[in-house]
Structure 1
């Protein structure tokens, strides 16, 4: 047994159960190594500041080569109102002060430095490995009578990112919200990150292949909860939201990303259910301001020009696909799936009501008053007194989700940019652009008695609107008309009764090799030319149904 080739030993161990592998560990040194690798016992590690020495002891040797995933949960110490001296000059019952924000940034920065220094220590002892690093955003326990302490709009920042060591071992990095928190119903707060942290970490990984996130990136939308008090407390202030998007854009435009980066799975609408539980009659912020286009969308396009696979979920405008000067190319992009929110960065909406209502609203401007106060205000005290007397109702919600019909003035330029971009992707195998829609309009003027079956066969279920394409000899879409691995190009219009203009349709027909026949499909017989159920669009996900064996992907899969 001791003389067997190592390749054969590895093969034998790969076929054994985990219980059997426990017995082969003692057969020989070669079987020990192969058994440890095959068992997967050393493939993952949840790193903490308390187990760092155990981590170094375990992986400062051959087992470093077995490690594939390292997870780290950032954390902020609990906030307990009882521990605060309310008579102190700088004490605030409701709002976080600038000193508190700085302390949180410093704690977060210290923890990120710890992770990078720990991994760098092993690299210096052994060699470069091959692993995915997942950093989870902090969930803070909060014991406070004022809900403002749990509903935070200020972002966490990474200070002095240039001081982080370079990590040759990290081939994939993802930053994710591990939990879904409902702060008015729980004694916890999920802290939002400044989005540029993604870029600051990515450029410190020169062999990076995959960049991912699953984050509540903020919204500026008005929650569906009817209570004025609940809306006041849960308000996501537009100033920090806009600044975070701009910071991301500035960081990306100035960064030199690793030349090895090939895949990105960026979800800025996590969880999707929260991005939908909104009042669509209320205005949303204009995140673009006086600029000609959205810097955040433009920066995501710059990121995508070197990729092979991308999956985005975000609020974006046409510059996500096509810049104003038209100078762009995607020579390597093979798989594209973009889910866009029904609202746009300018504050206008891609969709309107069935009767055309909600067509023209502009987003509200962001000013100096669009930031949370850094000290308690008289308005805070008034609302606190109100909930002390009357309680805080979070159960009654307004049914004001009525935007299910395309608003051509806003949507067509977005679709045009996508079609032009896709026709400039010579390696493209599959592409999908879609939006999640919901019909719950009982509280919208004029729709209390509206028959939702005019819009969808099952109007009370999650709906979707979108367009998809696959190249010849590419896996098709299960449960849709068409073929798997067809010899033709295939284009699906899951757009209910909406139809593109001849000019827009021709742009989509230019996607792929124009010398190869194109089959177009309009809707699905199951839905009768009405809005499709959203579950059909799950199969469009690049890192899910279509490519289940992708080596790297986000770790959290909550919809």
Structure 2
């Protein structure tokens, strides 16, 4: 199919300014005499994507071509006497397909190309901005249809244009874990292409190195949630995951990061200048400074790291209750197989699958609401999890983080097994407790450290289950933080629940 050229023309600078002024006038108009007028202490910037038109004479291709969208290069703060706390919400890119076009294709609803900032140096310096939030307006929704992913480097790049920025908040950086749709066509259409996924992580590691000297010294608090927290359990933990750490097209040699995960290294570098860091990411032990005796994160007060049960190299930190660990290592990413394919044959196969499955899955829920998850990894794999715990404990030492008040490392584990696995565990005590074997059970797994206050001792709180303990070296490393006698170490039981609580306010 021929691809129709798309030219996305944003509103002019004057139009944006007039729009803001109109909002102010509308808010001020009904105010009684003597009431203060509206000031822009907080401002929403709605980034609206252009409508994609799929015309009969010029149908859109299933794959999105590379394109550059222009953007206004200047926007002065409206109120020079007040600090600004803007929210940038990335809107959906809607898709129009006339009913009279046969072979309706939803490929275009699932975007793979990330939006980036062009000509960063041409953006103005906004001196009044002290807080910036960037997120997708539908980030709380599970359905990724029409969502426009943004480069995970963009928030930090924008921070370099805000000389007095204090806080950067990103409740979702558009990293997605593959969804286990029952429909094979939906799995292909919504595929998280492994090549671009890896390249985006490489760009983040490289981008942090570039922006570190340019970030404002006032920036002390950063929240980066790379993937959306899973409240529903729609993943398949039995499939092989990609190795996102291996060499990429933009970095053919792994020597650039010395074989380590670029995101973990980038976060480690970023933490060296922060007081608060809140991270949700696929990580390796490289995120923590576990070696050396010098000041590494000298300003850090509060550290919160939620890690995914899968490591970025495709290996897992957890197995099934009976040691099940299919595909213990990730697969290598190849140019021919793991980037969006340009050949029409792949799209034709997907369309044929869709036609075959459409009648089967369309019903009250529809093809989009049928899932075949297999989430069973609830027991730590000692040789994988202990190095992560040890690196965390070593990084908490006073000589490395002298200002630290608290730090925690944790993940959420889910029991939502496949039908075959349900039968295997029926009547067994090995699985987490449920009223029905097909129910979803979630629980928090991790460790928290509270630094001593005054002359008191610190405290370590474990929540790793009653029948599992870290290796002796890990226990000793944490005992060094709170005393060797162990009275300042607490072991909490799991709290099982059907669905983890979501921070709804993070997406408002």
Tell me the TM-score normalised to structure 1 length: 0.73
Indicate yes or no: 2:480 matched with 1:523: no
- Between 1:391-400 and 1:248-257, the stretch displaced more is 391-400
1:399-437, Cα deviation, whole Å (9 max, x unpaired)? 410111101222111111111111232222111111111
Give the match for residue 235 of structure 1: 191
Deviation at 1:347, TM superposition (A): 0.7
Partners of 2:291 and 2:239 lie apart in 1 by 30
* Alignment match, 2:32: none
Q: Show structure 1 runs of 5+ residues with no match.
A: 1-46, 475-485, 525-530, 545-553
**Structure-2 residue corresponding to 1:314:** 281
In structure 2, relative to structure 1, the CA distance for the partners of 1:147 and 1:57 (3 Å cut) is: closer
Alpha-carbon distance in structure 1 between the residues aligned to 2:57 and 2:21: 41
Structure 2 match to 1:361: 328
Three-state SS of the structure 1 residue aligned to 2:506 is coil
Q: Which runs of 5+ in 2 are unaligned?
A: 1-11, 26-35, 98-103, 248-253, 362-366
Q: Where does residue 551 of structure 1 map in the other structure?
A: none
Aligned to 1:408: 382
The superposition leaves residues 458-502 of structure 1 with CA deviations (integer Å, 9 ceiling, x where unpaired) of 57332121111223459xxxxxxxxxxx94422111000210111
Asked if structure 1 preserves the Cα contact closer than 8 Å seen for 2:64 and 2:108, the reply is: yes
Q: Distance in 1 between matches of 2:107 and 2:174?
A: 18
Which shows bigger deviation, 493-502 or 445-454?
A: 445-454
Alpha-carbon RMSD: 3.3
CA distance in 1, matches of 2:480, 2:56: 64
Change (3 A) 1:444 1:162: farther
1:267 paired to 2:220: no
Please give the secondary structure, in 2, of the residue aligned with 1:368.
coil
How far apart are residue 450 of structure 1 and its match? Answer: 4.0
Number of corresponding residues: 454
Kindly state the Cα deviation for residue 119 of structure 1 after the two structures are TM-superposed. 3.1
1:493 aligns with 462
* Match among 49, 66, 76 for residue 119 of structure 1: 76
**Given the alignment, which residue of 135, 148, 170 partners 2:88?**
135
Decide whether the 8 Å contact of 2:75 with 2:124 is kept in 1: no
Q: Which residue of 1 aligns with 2:350?
A: 383
* Paired residue secondary structure (2:415): coil
Name the residue aligned to 1:350: 317
Quote how far apart the aligned CAs of 1:148 are.
Answer: 1.0
Query: Aligned-pair distance for 1:445?
Result: 4.8
Q: Which residue of 1 aligns with 2:207?
A: 251
**2:28 is the alignment partner of 1:55:** no
Query: In structure 2, do the counterparts of structure 1 residues 537 and 234 end up closer, same or farther at CA, with 3 Å as the change threshold?
Result: closer
Question: What is the aligned partner in structure 2 of residue 95 from structure 1?
Answer: 63
Residue 395 of structure 1: CA displacement?
3.6
Match of 2:163 in 1: 206
Shift of 1:340: 0.5
Contact 1:509 1:518 in 2 (8 A): no
Mapped partners of 1:462, 1:494: distance in 2: 13
Gap change, CA 1:216 and 1:418, over 3 Å in 2: same
Moved over 6 A (4+): 57-60, 323-327, 534-538
1:417 aligns with 2:391: yes
Q: How does 1:435-450 map to 2 (within 5 A)?
A: 435-445=411-421, 448-450=424-426
Shift of residue 456, structure 1, vs aligned partner: 3.4
Q: 1:205 to 1:223 in 2, by over 3 A?
A: same
- Aligned partners of 2:95 and 2:350: how far apart in 1? 19
Residues 1:468 and 2:431 are matched in the alignment: no
Report the Cα distance in structure 2 between the residues aligned to 1:467 and 1:166, rounded to whole angstroms: 41
Shift of 1:325: 6.9
Q: Is the CA contact 2:234–2:373 (under 8 Å) kept in the aligned structure 1?
A: no
In the alignment, structure 1 residue 73 sits paired with structure 2 residue 46: yes
Offset of 1:532 from its aligned partner?
2.8
Q: Output one character per residue of 1:21-42: Cα deviation in whole Å (capped at 9) or x when no partner.
A: xxxxxxxxxxxxxxxxxxxxxx
1:331 match: 298
State TM-score, norm by structure 2.
0.80
1:533 aligns with 2:496: yes
After superposition, the C-alpha distances for 1:42-67 in whole angstroms (9 at most, x for unaligned) are xxxxx99855225358889xx89943
Residue by residue over 1:145-169, the C-alpha shift from the partner in whole angstroms, topping out at 9 and shown as x without a partner, is 2121111121111111111111111
User: Cα gap change, 1:279/1:66 in structure 2, threshold over 3 Å: closer, same or farther?
Assistant: same
SS of equivalent residue, structure 1 residue 269: coil
Alignment partners' CA distance in 2, 1:442 and 1:537: 20
Measured at CA, do residues 263 and 453 of structure 1 come closer, stay the same or move farther in structure 2, by a change above 3 Å? farther
Higher helix share: 1
